[in-house]
Structure 1
Amino acid sequence: MTYLDYQATTPLAPEALAAMLPWLERQHANPHSTHREGRAARAAVEVARDQVAAAMPAGGTLSFTSGATEALNWAIKGVEGPIVTLATEHAAVLDTVAATGRAVTILPVGHDGLVDLDAARAAIVPGVGLVAAMLVNNEIGVIQPIAALADLAHAVGALFLCDAVQGYGRVPIPEQCDIVAISAHKIHGPKGIGALWTRAGVQPAPLLHGGGQETAGRSGTLSPALCAGFGVAAGLMSDRGIEDAAHVEALWVAATARLGPEWRINGSVEARYRGNLNISHERLDVARLMSDLRDVAFSAGSACASGSGRTSHVLRAIGLGEAEARGSIRLGFGRYTGVTELTAAIDSIVEAAARQRIAA
C-alpha cells in the first residue's frame, strides 16, 4: 500500500511510539496526583509541553487538549465579539463560528486560494473580537498571509487565532498570533491529543469545566503517553526540519513531473506547502479511480467531509464548478514517502484516468 493521505493523518514516528510505550505498559500514574509516581508522570508531561511549545511564538502558555477540534472550539467560544474568518477554513472553525450565534463575516478567496487583504481590511473593523485563519490549508496546501491578517486584527483591537494544524513544524508560525491550535497526529504523533497556545495575557473562557488541570483553564486528566508521543514528534519536526523540507520538495518535483497537461493543480503553486498536491482532471470519476487503485491511499477531498456527498467547500470557494470539484483528488506525502513509490503511484493514477477517457 502506498499511503498518500498525509493531510488526513501522518504515520506515527517510531521514536514517538517508543516514547509512549513505557507510559502504556507500566507507568500508569495520574499526572495530577501528588505521590512520587504521579510527580514522575507530571514531569514527563512538562517535558513534552516544552518540546511542543518550542515551535510556538516566544512566551505564552501551551495547554494540551484532546485535539485541534477541541482547541479551536475553546478559542472561538472563549473569545467574545463578532468574528471574521475565511471561506476555506476547516469545518472545525466554520461550524464552530456558526454555532456561536455571533455576527460572522466570511471572507472570500481568489482562484489561488489566497485571501484578498483589501477585503480583509474592509471587514476587520473596530468591534470585531476575533479573526481566525488557517496557516496552511488542509485541502489545497495554500499558505495564507497570517502575519498581515494578524496585524489587521490588532489594529482594531481584535485577537488573532491561527489554525496551524497543517503548518506546525513545517511553516514558521508568525509571532503576531495570539492563539494557535495544533494537533499531534498531523506531525507523526499520536491521535487524541492537540494543544492550544495562548499569548501571555490572553485566556479564552474555559470550554470544559471540572478540575481545571491545565493552567489556561482546560479541565481533564492528561495522558502522559499521548503527551510524550506528541513531544517527541514535535522535537523530530524541529530536528529534521531542513531534511524533511528538502525531501518534500523532491517529492513534489517528482510528482508534478509525471502529470500531463490535462491535470490542473488546485490553488496557488507558489504560496503553498509542497507536501499537498490537489489536482483535478476533466470528467474524472474519482470513486471509480479509488476502486481501480485500491493499493494507493489518497483522498477525494477533506477526510472530514468524506461520505457526505458534498463537493469540497474549499474547491468551490476557489471557483471550481461541481464537475471540476468532483474530478479532484488530494495527494499528501512527506517524511516516510519514497520517491519511487510516489512516482509509481502517480503513474498508476494517470494511467487509470486515461483508461476512463478511452472507455468514455
Structure 2
Amino acid sequence: MQNHIEETDFQTMIRQRSIRLFAFLQEFVQLRSKVTTWVDHYEKVIWLSDIPEGKGCYSIFRKENEHFGDSDVWLEVLKSGTQEVPAPPPALHPWLDPRQLTDPNRNIPELLNRIPNPRFRNRAGHGDTAEFLYLEEYKSQLAPLWKQYVTQSWRPWAERNRSHQQVQKQFAELYSIYQHQQKFAEAYEVVLGIGCLAWNTPGGTRIKRHLLTVPAEIAFDAERGSIAVGPVAEGGGLQLEQDMLEAGDRPDTDDQARIDKWLDKIGHRIADLWEMTSLLRDWLHSIPADGKFIDSLQPDIEPADYPQISLSPALILRKRTDQSLYNAYAEIIEQLKTAETIPGGVTSLVSIPAAGPRPQ
C-alpha cells in the first residue's frame, strides 16, 4: 500500500512539473513574440463577404446555409467560362467600338459619331464621294436597333460577366493561397478567422484582428475546376487568440475556463452562425470593458475606445509564428492535465535523479 501511495505521489509530482515546464515555455514564447495587432498585416486576407453570391460560390456564412454544423466544406468557388458578347444586328455592328462592346464593366456601349464609308470612292473612280458616314444622318434608323440590342442582349450579358469576373477574381486569390500552402507549408499557415475585434485598448494599442481562428486547408479539384476550403485533415480545433491583448483586458480565470470548454466542444465544426455569435458575445461580456457586438459579415468596423466585435469571417494566409507554438504548448498543457500517464520523454525532462532507485 505504501508503494502505491509513493507511486501516485511521484506521478502527481511529474504531472505538475510537466505542466509548469510547458507553461514556462508558453510564457517565454509570448514574451519574445512580435504581436500582430492588425489583420491587414498578414500576408493575404480574403474577406468572405467579398465572395459573390449566386451560381458558382458557396459559403457556410450565408444566411441560407446556416446550421450546417458538421459541414466539411466552409467555402467553395467554381471556375466558370467567359461568355461571348452577343452579336449585334449587322446594320448596327459597324457603329459599335469593339473595346466598348466587350467590356461588361461599362454602363452601355456608345454608338460611334462616325464610321468609314464602306462605299468610299476607290481609285477607279467608282463609289461614293463621302469618306465617312455620320451618326446624325442615320440616328433615326439606328437608335431603335441600338436600344433593343442593349436592353435585351448586351445588358444581361454584361451583368452575367461582371458576376463571372468577381468569381474569377476570388478563384484566383484562393488559388494563389493554395499554391503558397503547397509550396511553403512549413513556413506558412492558413486559418479561417471569425469574430473581428476592433478596439483602441486602454493601454493605447490599436487592434483590428480576429479573436477566433481555426486551421484551414484548401483543396483544388482540376477536373471540376473548383477550389474548396475546409478543416485540416488532422482536425485542428477552434482557437481563441488573445495575445494582442493585455492580461487585464481579457476574461478572468473562471470565465476563460468556461470559454475554453466551449471551444473544445465546437472543435472545427464552426458552421453554426448562432453558436459562433453566442460564443463571441460570451467573450465580450466576460471582459472588464463594456463592448458592442455587430451582427455583420462585413469587415468595415473601425477601432473605437470600446471593444467591438463583428463576425467578419476571413481566410488568412500568415507566417507560422510563435503564436502557433504558443497554441501547441496550450494543447500540450491540456493533454498533460488529463493524460493517464506522462510520456517518458517529458518525464525525463522534469525528473531529478535521486541517489536511490526511482519508484517503480
TM range (shorter): under 0.3
Structure whose alpha-carbon radius of gyration is higher: 2
Larger strand percent: 2
The structure, 1 or 2, with the larger RCO (C-alpha pairs under 8 Å, 6+ apart) is: 2
The TM-score, its normalising length taken from structure 2, stands at 0.24
Give the structure-1-normalised TM-score.
0.24
